[in-house]
Amino acid sequence: MAESVVCQNIRVSGVVQGVGFRPFVWRLARELGLGGWVRNDSRGVEIEVCGAAEQVKSLIDRLEQEAPPLARVSGVVARAAAPAAHDGREFVIIDSRSGRVGTMIGHDTAVCRDCLAETFEPSNRRWRYAFSNCTNCGPRYTISRGLPYDRVRTSLKPFVMCPKCQHEYRKPEDRRFHAEANCCPKCGPQLRLVDAEGQPLPGDPLAATLALLRAGKIVAIKGLGGFHLACDARNAVAVALLRERKQRDEKPFVVMLANAASAAMFVQMGIGEPGLLTLPTRPAILIKKRGNCDAALPGVAPGLSWLGVMLPYTPLQFLLFHEAANRPPGLGWLERAQDLALVMTSANPGGEPLVVGNNEALLRLYGIADAFLTHDRDIVTRCDDSVARITSGGLQFIRRARGYTPRAIKLPISGPSVLAVGGWFKNTICVTRGDEAFVSQHVGDLDNAAVCDFLEENVAQMVKLLGVEPAIVAHDLHPDFHSTRFAAEFAEQRRLPLLGVQHHHAHAAAVLAEHGMQGKALALSLDGVGVGSDGAAWGGGTAARRWRQLQAPRLAGAAGASRRRPRGQRTLADGGSGAASTRAQQGDRRALRGAAGGTGRRADARRQCQLSADVEHGADLRRRRRSARDQGSDGLRRPGGDAARGHGAALRRRPAPGPGLEDFPGPARSAAAAGGAGR
């Protein structure tokens, strides 16, 4: 008796685009002898399949069990479909379909070992190519303009694949089968090394960059989510010069090393720590220093017991270490300790957002970088490096960004979409969709116009990618925060309700939401000053009885609070360093004055400062740039003095106070706080 044929329409949701999911389905269907098709759409991946009932069931079960390593499947729903006229058992990948968005793009991932093997093989056509990637690795979030995830919606759109890349893209057995960012030296992005005036420097860009770094120069290097400022971490003069130019007197720098064996020369590697360093997400990890670390890396992390260590995650970064190792063939050299150690710090002068554009880098990093290693692939979304420390419970994030955004955090309940715009310090935003919360990358402190603009840019990008229309907007209770005023404007334009969320309440509720906890709870939030529900300045809070009561401990006066800060009241921003602690205390005093109404109402300083910045960006700055430079014996145009340090100082200002906002009831505030409204 012939086996019955069934047809199923299957919907797969989660992070299933840009991760090789369609090729995976194609191979699985072919293995099981099924006919049908698979495609991306705005809700995820849609599959229609026909064949023997047992084989169809096997495909459905294996979709989640054997998903590609970068995929995060949140749901597989199958329903009966009408029999379709599939040609025998042919299974194909068909064109994507647009519509209402119900999925999310994948995060950026470190280059895989297979791509590295090609990059370091002299006979391979991608030898020493800085942009190799496949379905298992490479950029996603930072190059995407929208969903569904197709090449035409990425910054690779201008680069038309050559015949060889097209063959890989269409070959089912190839790991670049339907790899949307596929490229090679013939058809893809190219490196370019220029001096501080934007003039090309001769020679191989990688070799010339390494020579500059070894000569003590500071080079701005374009990465996945923005530029880094790099220098030789072993060169005390270069590190000190970078501190002076970036005006970063005490905060530690992150060091990039070739591998875990190289890191072991400077830090005490515990059990499991080498594996965490090599995670595909590649966060910078704080690891306990060895006794010789400060002498070997002078001025990198002074006065601290921990060193921030990060391994390379792009082909370009690996190629700098490969060049330093004299271009050895194969991967064997990556198993041995390498001498090169590079400071890799974010190119965000004056606390402004990360630099992402080539022309923007020449302007904003003028006076800081001696040269610029750039390329012609645009960065669509700026995204800083993630920073974490190792605890008994695993990684604890200090900054959650590249590699982890825009991953969804599963919430214990589903509800209307909430836009939460965060607080003043270390701002991030969050957008919820159903039972998922999407926390953005690090935005920064909202104390200058550029960061405020980035906050608004971030909101627009997240709402667009998620395809949601927020039903409610949550904000901190402090009326003087730019995020609060933006929330009021955003809500007014769309006629949405506003929820003011108490600062410490938001911290506690967000932790409960992240861990899926419901019901009664007791929380202690000691996070520095925040405006309380009574309008007074609170230094922390205890909350109980399902968050219906929130009490603040007594505070000393502003001056006394800064002198006698309780031990448990150190904030994440403090990080244990004196400079960071002082900064946080100054911020607390500023918040106290704002809460007391001492700031008064001012004109809209933000627009005035932006106008001033626009002038700085014009002909006057260019004229002063050239006059402030002299020609060095090494052929580089040297940065000028303080007058040419960029436009950071012109942008630093405190936003004007906005209107007072209503205090909403506890239960509603809890829902918004769970979306990440705090800090």
- Contacting residues for 554 by C-beta, under 8 A, at least 6 apart: none
Amino acid at 641: G
Angle between helix 449-466 and 482-494 (nearest 10): 40
pLDDT for position 657: 36
Same domain for 422 and 515? yes
In this structure, what are the phi and psi dihedrals at residue 414, rounded to the nearest 5 degrees?
-105, 150
- Contacting residues for 166 by C-beta, under 8 A, at least 6 apart: none
Q: Does residue 629 lie within any of the structural domains?
A: no
For the ranges 32-41, 198-207, 325-334, the lowest mean pLDDT is seen at 32-41
pLDDT tens digits along 425-464:
999 999 999 888 999 999 999 999 999 999 999 999 999 8
pLDDT for position 550: 52
Q: Does residue 641 lie within any of the structural domains?
A: no
DSSP secondary structure, 513-547, as one string: HHTT--S---EEE--S-EE-TTSSEES-EEEETTT
Q: Does residue 615 lie within any of the structural domains?
A: no
Q: Assign 554 a pLDDT band (cuts: 50, 70, 90).
A: low
Domain edge (last residue) among 375, 399, 423: 399
**Contacts within 8 Å (CB) and 24+ apart, 570-574:** 571/425, 571/527, 571/528, 572/398, 572/426, 573/425, 573/426
Q: Does residue 10 lie within any of the structural domains?
A: yes
Q: Does residue 315 lie within any of the structural domains?
A: yes
CB 498 within 8 A of CB 523: no
Same domain for 381 and 352? yes
Q: What's the rounded Cα separation, in Å, for the pair 429 and 410?
A: 16
pLDDT for position 524: 86
* pLDDT at residue 248 tops 70: yes
Domain edge (last residue) among 66, 93, 120: 93
pLDDT tens digits along 513-540:
888 888 888 888 887 788 888 888 887 7
How many CB atoms are closer than 10 A to CB 114?
A: 14
Q: What is the DSSP letter of 105?
A: P
pLDDT for position 386: 96
Same domain for 122 and 45? no
Same domain for 352 and 436? no
How many CB atoms are closer than 10 A to CB 27?
A: 15
Same domain for 240 and 140? yes
* pLDDT at residue 644 tops 90: no
Helix (H) or strand (E) holding 323: helix 315-324
CB 663 within 8 A of CB 533: yes
Same domain for 482 and 438? yes
Q: Once rounded to an integer, what is the mean pLDDT over residues 481-504?
A: 95
CB 328 within 8 A of CB 158: no
pLDDT for position 634: 42
pLDDT for position 663: 36
* pLDDT at residue 203 tops 80: yes
For the ranges 478-482, 554-558, 597-601, the lowest mean pLDDT is seen at 597-601
Q: What's the rounded Cα separation, in Å, for the pair 6 and 661?
A: 58
DSSP secondary structure, 282-308, as one string: --EEEEEBPTTHHHHSTTSSTT-SEEE
Q: Assign 126 a pLDDT band (cuts: 50, 70, 90).
A: very high
Q: What's the rounded Cα separation, in Å, for the pair 73 and 12?
A: 7
Q: Across all residues in the chain, what is the average pLDDT? A: 81
Q: Does residue 607 lie within any of the structural domains?
A: no
* pLDDT at residue 488 tops 80: yes
CB 348 within 8 A of CB 330: no
Q: Assign 102 a pLDDT band (cuts: 50, 70, 90).
A: low
Q: Once rounded to an integer, what is the mean pLDDT over residues 169-177?
A: 89
More confident residue, 552 or 27: 27
CATH number for the domain harbouring residue 320: 3.90.870.50
pLDDT for position 544: 54
Q: What's the rounded Cα separation, in Å, for the pair 161 and 178?
A: 12
pTM over 0.85: no
More confident residue, 412 or 126: 126
pLDDT for position 90: 87
How many CB atoms are closer than 10 A to CB 327?
A: 15
Q: Which domain holds residue 60?
A: 5-93
CB 412 within 8 A of CB 517: yes
Closest CA to 677 of 536, 527, 477, 519: 477
For the ranges 21-25, 212-216, 262-266, 338-342, the lowest mean pLDDT is seen at 21-25
* pLDDT at residue 174 tops 50: yes
How many CB atoms are closer than 10 A to CB 447?
A: 20
Same domain for 116 and 87? no
N-terminal to C-terminal alpha carbon distance within the chain: 67
Q: What's the rounded Cα separation, in Å, for the pair 652 and 23?
A: 49
Same domain for 348 and 333? yes
Q: What is the DSSP letter of 178?
A: T
pLDDT tens digits along 42-81:
778 999 999 999 999 999 999 989 998 888 898 899 999 8
Q: What's the rounded Cα separation, in Å, for the pair 290 and 61?
A: 49
Give the CA angle between residues 434, 280, 10 to the nearest 5°. Answer: 40
Q: Once rounded to an integer, what is the mean pLDDT over residues 576-593?
A: 38
* pLDDT at residue 197 tops 50: yes
pLDDT for position 273: 87
- Token pair of 312 as six digits: 């390379």
Mean pLDDT comparison of 486-495, 557-566, 639-648, highest-scoring range:
486-495
Alpha carbon dihedral 37, 40, 41, 43, in 10-degree steps, equals 110
Q: Does residue 328 lie within any of the structural domains?
A: yes
Q: Assign 611 a pLDDT band (cuts: 50, 70, 90).
A: very low
Same domain for 584 and 548? yes
pLDDT for position 537: 85
* pLDDT at residue 497 tops 90: yes
The count of C-alpha atoms lying within 13 angstroms of the C-alpha of 57, restricted to the half-sphere facing its C-beta, is 5
Q: What's the rounded Cα separation, in Å, for the pair 50 and 100?
A: 26
Same domain for 411 and 389? no
Percentage of residues in the chain with pLDDT exceeding 70?
77
Q: Once rounded to an integer, what is the mean pLDDT over residues 487-506?
A: 95
For the ranges 14-23, 58-67, 394-403, 655-664, the lowest mean pLDDT is seen at 655-664
* pLDDT at residue 149 tops 70: yes
Helix (H) or strand (E) holding 438: strand 430-439
pLDDT for position 552: 55
CB 502 within 8 A of CB 535: no
Q: Does residue 603 lie within any of the structural domains?
A: no
Q: What's the rounded Cα separation, in Å, for the pair 349 and 282?
A: 23
Same domain for 438 and 387? no
More confident residue, 667 or 173: 173
CATH number for the domain harbouring residue 492: 3.30.420.360
Q: Assign 627 a pLDDT band (cuts: 50, 70, 90).
A: very low
Helix (H) or strand (E) holding 411: strand 408-415
CATH number for the domain harbouring residue 48: 3.30.70.100
Q: Once rounded to an integer, what is the mean pLDDT over residues 498-508?
A: 92
Alpha carbon dihedral 570, 573, 575, 580, in 10-degree steps, equals -100
Q: What is the DSSP letter of 418?
A: E
Domain edge (last residue) among 399, 414, 438: 399
Q: What's the rounded Cα separation, in Å, for the pair 204 and 636?
A: 16
Indicate the number of domains in the chain.
3
Same domain for 56 and 154? no
